[in-house]
Amino acid sequence: MKTTKNLGSFAVTALSLLALIVTSSASAQQSIIKRTDLQRHDLSLPGYETVQARIDFGAHTAFGKHSHPGEEVIYVLEGVLEYEVEGQSPVTLKAGEVLFIPAGVVHSAKNNSHEKASELATYIVEKGKPILTLEK
């Protein structure tokens, strides 16, 4: 009887520990930003290309100040994202809303919520230049 009680106690402790590990792992996974390049094509305008990417933001994550060598068109796929664009007031967008960022303008994005958020970013950029430059 005592052995059965000890085994039951051990099982409860092991399951509790496993739940804690899974929860910690899930929290760690949510705190990342993942970029998935979807397509890249030359444009009819010589020296330019279009690049399209999906950016997934975990809960409470931010992508710091940066710029692009061309225009960026953002479409929020899910969740809510806050954008800070140099020279403008911060703007908060939810799924289905869009934002245009002119070439070379410094900006940042962050997810202030407890849920993940995603955007579809389309860049119209000069070929051969880095897709983004981080600001110091």
- Rounded average pLDDT over 103-111: 97
CA atoms within 13 A on the CB side of 89: 3
Given a cut of 90, whether residue 24 has pLDDT beyond it is no
- Rounded average pLDDT over 40-69: 96
Given a cut of 80, whether residue 1 has pLDDT beyond it is no
Dig out the tokens for 1 from the structure.
Answer: 């009887």
pLDDT for residue 136: 81
Q: Identify the H or E element spanning 70.
A: strand 70-78
pLDDT for residue 8: 46
39 vs 19 pLDDT, higher one: 39
pLDDT for residue 31: 62
Given a cut of 80, whether residue 12 has pLDDT beyond it is no
Given a cut of 50, whether residue 20 has pLDDT beyond it is no
pLDDT for residue 110: 97
Q: How far apart are CA 112 and CA 46, in angstroms?
A: 40
pLDDT for residue 2: 54
Dig out the tokens for 124 from the structure.
Answer: 């119209």
Nearest 5 degrees, angle CA 28-CA 11-CA 29? 10
